[in-house]
Amino acid sequence: MSRAPFTFYEFFAGGGMARLGLGGDWRCLFANDFDAGKARAYRDNFGAEDLKEGDVWALSPADLPGRADLAWASSPCQDFSLAGARAGLKGGRSSAFFGFWRLIEGLAAEGRAPRAIVIENVTGLLTSHGGADFTALCQALADQGYAFGAIEADAARFLPQSRKRILVIACRQAPAGLPRGREARPALRDAFQRLPPALKALWIGWPTPDDGRRNTDLAALLEPDHAVRWHAPETTAHILSLLDDNNRGKVAAALASGERRVGAVYRRTRAGRQRAEVRFDGLAGCLRTPRGGSSRQTLMVVEGGEVRTRLVSPREAARLMGLPETYRLPARATAALMIAGDGVAVPVVRWLAQAVLEPLLNQGPDLLAAE
């Protein structure tokens, strides 16, 4: 029998995408974010009652009401990102994780530790400092009585955006029926193998999203051509000049098809030289913030023998994250793109809630049957 509604704390909440993904069977007890713009977006969409804006280090366990079923932490990822400086857990932004963890330790000391924890981050978390940071994270969980495991989830299984993330899921009571103490999935195997034996013994083989769920592509999420601003021809020509032979071949093939083809373009710096890459596989590349490791994503439309380009709009970026049309975006494009580029894809959270977290918290007799 379900015991919903479940309760949760949402740390590094951003625009509230974890809250949206958890859905109506979940009740927020507390949310926190340091960024004023993201906090405004959170209040615009969910109200101010649950949100405390400010530095996580300024919080104490007394700020957190009750005992939550779940603590969700999409902690700052810049220092784990392969595009960043790889400062690891000692990095200035990712050190915010320890501000969060200090609260979990305080709750545990009061007998109020959340029953489950989800830590969402970029895939670089697994390899940062040769895996030492991931081991330190697992040790922190173990020290507070949690068993744990991880999932690599790609938003591309649900949305037309290639966006891989690591979800570390920890629980106070390990479920029956799942593999324990081993890891067969290639994306996680090396990280698991680097763990010491005591931590390997606590590892849970959580289920993974299956393939083939996505039922739409990038073109289906776009605004009508007449409603958006297109680049001037010279800007498009410049973007085309940045393509290497392989990427020029993709454009040529799209032109030769005679069909309308929609592609996603990234401009990157390779060996000190700016280059562009295009893909026509129905997926956008991973959305970034305006201050992220790559430039704002560009769309390329090939139709009728013509190539046109433009920037992804804020609403299109929101759709690529699974945000509903009713979600209130900031009026400024830069602020809206910060919300989308720094968030967790909503359908990934929804899948996790349905496939893992709710069965786990319901503690039914057939809890999380193995895949």
Question: Who contacts 47 (Cβ-Cβ below 8 Å, separation ≥6)?
Answer: none
**In the chain, % of residues over pLDDT 90:** 75
**In the chain, % of residues over pLDDT 70:** 90
Identify how many contiguous H helices and E strands the chain contains and give both numbers.
12, 11
Question: Who contacts 266 (Cβ-Cβ below 8 Å, separation ≥6)?
Answer: 276, 277, 285, 294, 295, 297, 298
Give me the half-sphere count of Cα atoms (radius 13 Å) on the Cβ side of residue 199.
Answer: 21
Mean pLDDT of 121-131: 89
Task: Give the number of other CB atoms < 10 A from CB of residue 236.
Answer: 18
Confidence of residue 59 (pLDDT cuts 50, 70, 90): very high
**Any idea which of 17-31, 39-53, 170-184 has the lowest mean pLDDT?**
170-184
* Contact yes or no for 103/60 (Cβ under 8 A): yes
User: What residue spans of 217-345 are helical by DSSP H?
Assistant: 233-241, 245-257, 314-320, 333-341
Per-residue pLDDT, 1? 53
**Angle at the Cα of 195 (from 92 to 197), degrees rounded to 5?**
145
Q: Dump pLDDT digits (tens) for 145-158.
A: 999 999 999 999 99
Query: CA-CA distance, 175 to 162, in Å (whole number)?
Result: 31
Query: CA-CA distance, 329 to 197, in Å (whole number)?
Result: 47
Confidence of residue 77 (pLDDT cuts 50, 70, 90): low
Q: Dump pLDDT digits (tens) for 244-285.
A: 999 999 999 999 999 999 999 988 777 778 889 999 999 999
Query: CA-CA distance, 332 to 194, in Å (whole number)?
Result: 45
User: Is the model's pLDDT at 17 over the cut of 80?
Assistant: yes
* Contact yes or no for 263/302 (Cβ under 8 A): yes
Query: CA-CA distance, 269 to 317, in Å (whole number)?
Result: 23
User: Distance of alpha carbon 177 from its chain centroid, rounded?
Assistant: 27
Question: Who contacts 286 (Cβ-Cβ below 8 Å, separation ≥6)?
Answer: 161, 162, 163, 164
- What the chain holds in terms of domains, given with CATH numbers, is 6-211+343-362 (3.40.50.150), 224-312 (no CATH)
